[in-house]
Structure 1
Amino acid sequence: MVVVFDAELWIWDARRADSWTFVSLPVEASDEIRDVAGGPRRGFGALRVRATVGDSTWTTSVFPDSARGCYVLPVKRAVRQAEALDAGDIVAVRVELLHS
């Protein structure tokens, strides 16, 4: 399953000092991912994905965010630096669900 969307980079309030930066997947896509993934998941409900932002592609996990009702994708510092991105920027994202 592949999801392509535009989203705003945001910093996780609970770890603001560490500048953990995420994008939220669309709620509809998150519902589809839950349906496809099914069953119990590993730690924190994480699902393995291959993510692409700009020219950067990496393997990571998406995590369910009950407050937002969707999955969230962490965008690591190396990607933000390579793509010259900051919190508040709108980015084009491609997420491919990988089989665990």
Structure 2
Amino acid sequence: MSEFRFEADVIHWRGPSPYFFAPLPLDHAEEIRRLSKLLSYGWGVIAVDATIGGVPFYTSLFPKDDTYLLPLKDAVRKKTGITAGDTIAVEMTLRPPRR
């Protein structure tokens, strides 16, 4: 599957379910959007394996505006000390959907 490396500024979503995300760079989002029909398991969501600060985790990208958001699980944030406004380095591999 496709592998990506990028830096992103962490944002805090203060909606009904507060969460932290790393928005993907637009060039990566464009490439992922081209692959999305093969990879999405519904609603445009795409499964990924990601590593931040040496901490690997599994999650799913969410389409938002012109990009995708990488959710940052609390367990990952606590291990790495990540919070809103931090710039993080991300390694990410797209996963085929489980059908």
TM-score normalised per structure 2: 0.88
Residue 25 of structure 1 pairs with residue 14 of structure 2: no
Counterpart position of 2:52: 53
Q: Which runs of 4+ in 1 moved over 4 A?
A: none
CA spacing shift, 1:47–1:9, aligned 2, 3 Å:
same
- Give the SS at the match of 1:62: strand
CA contact (8 A) 2:39 2:95 kept: no
Task: List per-residue Cα deviations over 1:58-94 (Å, max 9, x = no partner).
Answer: 111001002xx10100001100000011111110011
For the residues of structure 1 that align with 2:63 and 2:34, how far apart are their CA atoms? 13
Equivalences for residues 80-99 of structure 1 within 5 A:
80-99=77-96
| Structure 2: unaligned runs, 5 residues or longer | none
Counterpart position of 1:42: 41
1:45 is matched by which residue type in structure 2? G
Equivalenced residues, count: 96
Percent identity for Structure 1 against Structure 2: 33
CA spacing shift, 1:54–1:70, aligned 2, 3 Å:
same
| Structure 1: unaligned runs, 5 residues or longer | none
